[in-house]
Amino acid sequence: MQWSLKMNVSSMVFLMLISVVFMSGSLNMIYSGCSYFIEWEIVTLNSTSIVGACILDWMSLMFMSFVMFISSMVLYYSGGYMGSDNNINRFLYLVLGFVMSMGFLIISPNLVSILLGWDGLGLISYALVIYYQNEKSANAGMLTALSNRVGDVAILISISVMFGAGGWNFLFMEGELSSFLLCFIVLAAMTKSAQIPFSAWLPAAMAAPTPVSALVHSSTLVTAGVYLLIRFSPSLSGSVGQGVLLVLASLTMFMAGLGANFETDLKKIIALSTLSQLGVMMTILSLGWAELAFFHLLAHALFKALLFMSAGSIIHSVGDYQDIRVMGCLVGHMPLSVMMINLANLALCGSPFLAGFYSKDLILEVAFMNELNSVCFWLLVLSTGLTVCYTFRLVFYSISGDYNLFANSVVSDEDSVMTYPMMVLGAGAIAGGCLLSWLMFPAPSMICMGLGYKLLALLVSAVGGFIGYLLNMMAVNYSLASLKEYSCVVFSGSMWFTPYISTFGLSSLPLGLGSKFYQHMDSGWSEYYGGQGVYSLFEKVSNRMQLVQDNNIKVYMMVLLMWMLVLIFMFL
């Protein structure tokens, strides 16, 4: 235990120093306007060169800085949350491998080296989701792995398609990429960022430990697809995939916001909020504003890591309960954790002058000024209201209501190993958006909009917050109105049946086909005419040859008789 805590502290200090170095390099590149493309020859065999390459520009260095910073906080936080776990060393090594895979993906300028980080994220995320080794985590891990394998296959096909373009460094091929290739890139990004119809694995991955959720949902796994499309954004504009991505991202954003209002699991509500924000990033990215999507990605990473850490502190303290209905009035027992979770919730809503306000308000204003169709426009507006609605549900159950907890554990904020990282990220959730806005958009800009559009987001947010808080103020003797529209409630609360489609459709179909192929081909015809058949044939031929070489007089007489018959047949 003591050694694990020392490893946590040393890893946190090391990653924090790397974060500072990357951030200073990013600031230098922003003000100097330069970037570096480094390429070196690894090995040459028979005139074939294997070359390694990396890109160091302000975007990759800033993203690396945020990944290292949040990872350092998560590792230190894990010392308190996972302190009683016997396999904490294995957990820490997996998290460090996860961070290393994300680093490979961020600095890679070509698809071959991106595949190393991309596949590493999928493999280690599977190991982390099944960490607790029970049936629920095993099912969630299988769904996560199979959903992400679709994106891996899309990346492999993209590599083979780009081979015809003369290389895999996509940074030098702007405008030259075919629509066929871009469709596979968009498909890969949709699987990693859990857009419809691949949304089911994201809430299911909540079977992983909470520190993993804080890392995965803030700056690593789920943002890999958004970051990939940001890199391909110059070639994406004007393509067919851009319009398809806009519709699917808008639907994902609305579906996640609607489903979160029917969910009672604390971690799944936060996971669905991540899915909703990924839809926001994909929506503005499909409209051609890649830097704005990157801005929201970084701001979202700060308050989402804080949100999961605060939720983990509450879950850890109340005896591993995750149902928000058994909580209530926790502010008197856990004031710091409740303050941090509500701070992160307000930043998620886009409350003025918090981290989410600077990116989310700008995204809404830019989207309203673009030529959006009516469906995507109202999906964006309604999703904003739904975000505030489920956020105020969490506010109600953490601050208001009755104290419903019957846990035997002591409900308090006394574990400083868990609270210190939360306070650091709390400062980031307050000031991070403002600082990022000054760094990324230093030039002043003017957005001229009508008063109706300007007040629309504020009005929808106020209505959503009022409804979200009002829905929870009920007594036991109230009649359950949702039973009158049971089918509609089930459809809305089940993420539009995407878990069912993913498990019994997208996953069971290839698994069933694989099982049939194994039975009839690998263990059937391939065995009969393949390895076992060839072995049996050689065995028979070998036995006949051995029989000939045994110097048996019967064999010689038989051979003589056969030759005589052949000669007689030839001369006749």
DSSP class per residue in 374-412: HHHHHHHHHHHHHHHHHHHHHHHHHHSS------SS---
CA 241 to chain centroid: 20
Q: What digits encode the pLDDT tens for the residues 251-302? A: 999 988 888 888 888 888 888 888 999 999 999 888 888 888 999 999 999 8
How much is the average pLDDT of 362-369?
Answer: 85
Residue ranges of the domains in the chain? 1-233, 237-473, 505-571
pLDDT at 312 over 80: yes
> Using an 8 Å Cβ cutoff, are 179 and 239 in contact?
yes
Local confidence band at 3 (pLDDT 50, 70, 90 cut-offs): very low
Q: 6-10, 168-172, 199-203, 323-327: which has the minimum mean pLDDT?
A: 6-10
Q: What digits encode the pLDDT tens for the residues 549-561? A: 776 777 777 778 8
Helix (H, G, I), strand (E, B) or coil at 79: helix
> Using an 8 Å Cβ cutoff, are 460 and 382 in contact?
yes
CA distance 41 to 51: 4
Q: Which of the two residues, 423 and 491, has the higher pLDDT score? A: 423
Question: Residue 228, Cβ neighbours under 10 Å: how many?
Answer: 23
Burial call 138-162: b when 16+ CB within 10 Å, e when fewer: eebbbbbbbbbbbbbebbbbbbebb
pLDDT at 109 over 60: yes
Q: What digits encode the pLDDT tens for the residues 29-85? A: 878 778 888 888 878 777 767 777 888 888 888 888 899 888 888 888 888 778 777
Q: Can you give the pLDDT at residue 478?
A: 59
Q: Can you give the pLDDT at residue 1?
A: 47
Q: What angle do CA 448, 454, 458 make, to 5 degrees?
A: 155
Q: What digits encode the pLDDT tens for the residues 460-473? A: 888 888 887 777 66
pLDDT > 90 fraction of the chain, expressed in percent and rounded: 1
What single DSSP character describes residue 331? Answer: G
Q: What digits encode the pLDDT tens for the residues 116-164? A: 888 888 888 888 888 888 888 888 888 888 888 888 889 888 888 887 7
CA distances from 538 to 76, 448, 546, 547 (A): 63, 83, 12, 14
Residue 114, Cβ density class (10 Å: 0-12 exposed, 13-18 middle, ≥19 buried): buried
Most confident of 94-103, 365-374, 507-516: 94-103
Task: Supply the pTM of this predicted model.
Answer: 0.84
Instruction: Provide the residue count of the chain.
Output: 572
Task: Kindly state the tokens that stand for 369.
Answer: 């000024």
How much is the average pLDDT of 483-506?
Answer: 74
Nearest to 266 by CA among 211, 210, 216, 347: 210
